[in-house]
Amino acid sequence: MDGFLLVDKPSGITSYGVVDRLKKRFRLPRVGHGGSLDPSATGLLVVMVGRATKFAPILLGGDKEYEAEIRLGISTDTQDLSGRVVGEKNPGGVTRSALAAALESFRGEIEQVPPMFSALKNHGVRLYALARKGITVPRPARRVTVREIELIDFSPPVVRVRVLCSKGTYIRTLAHDLGERLGTGACLSALRRTAVFPFPVRDALPLDRLLELTPDELQGRLMEPPRQ
């Protein structure tokens, strides 16, 4: 088998876990994915099978689109609701116009300091491994690009946004930095990836449905990689 398999990842499983379950179910010798999602996140995971694994750098380097839910008034050590609360403020004074202006300030090329709870390495050790021991180390800021950021809904204290961004953008950090900009603190409360360009999530199947397919049916779901 060769091709791209579009998976709508459920919450509660790692991206590696998705790949591993598909690999074991269909006995796939070569399989990988084109950009991981946090276990709590849902949405599009592009699984590459066989010859398609050669195209991992292209998918990893491409733009991604997300729909994010952000909770104002709460700051956590992980920058999402799974973490320990480290700050709370009343966000009642935030107006829709102030929120829209703050979101607009993140459009374009920006700098982000990667979160401690991330898979980046410091002297060969994953940052999240250090963070779990209560260790914080300096992280250089990285330049990323937010091409589009759109306010979908504001039902205080919850904000819903659509974000189109470059590789390496942490939506958790975007939520955290939005809270800092507004002076209320904030964290990510839900995340769904809606596209890994050029693939949209609407063309994906949920993982449980994919696991029910026969090998021939799975073959029919694979999108062929371009010829080289």
pTM above 0.75, yes or no: yes
Per the domain annotation, does 40 fall within a domain? yes
H-helix or E-strand containing 198? none
The active-site residue, picked from 2, 8, 20, 38, is 38
Per the domain annotation, does 228 fall within a domain? no
pLDDT at residue 123, rounded to an integer: 78
Residues 120 and 178 placed together within one structural domain of the fold: yes
Residues 72 and 166 placed together within one structural domain of the fold: yes
Per the domain annotation, does 15 fall within a domain? yes
Q: What is the 3-state secondary structure (H, E, C) of 79-140?
A: CECCCCEEEECCCCCCCHHHHHHHHHCCCEEEEECCCCCCCCEECCEEHHHHHHCCCCCCCC
Domain total for the chain?
2
Distance (Å, whole) CA 120 – CA 123: 10
The enclosing domain of 216 has a CATH number of: 3.30.2350.10
Residues 56 and 69 placed together within one structural domain of the fold: no
How do residues 171-191 score in pLDDT, each as one tens digit?
A: 999 999 999 999 999 999 999
38 catalytic residue (yes or no): yes
Residues 154 and 202 placed together within one structural domain of the fold: no
pLDDT at residue 228, rounded to an integer: 47
How do residues 109-155 score in pLDDT, each as one tens digit?
A: 999 998 888 878 887 888 888 888 888 888 889 999 999 999 999 99
Per the domain annotation, does 168 fall within a domain? yes
Range of the domain at 17: 3-61+198-221
Residues 168 and 91 placed together within one structural domain of the fold: yes
Regions of the chain short of the pLDDT cut 70: 225-228
Q: What is the DSSP string of 13-54?
A: S-HHHHHHHHHHHHT-SSEEESS---TT-EEEEEEEEGGGGG
Residues 75 and 187 placed together within one structural domain of the fold: yes
Per the domain annotation, does 34 fall within a domain? yes
Question: Is residue 67 within 8 Å of residue 61, measured between CB atoms?
Answer: no
pLDDT at residue 227, rounded to an integer: 54
Per the domain annotation, does 167 fall within a domain? yes
Strand partners, 66: 163, 193
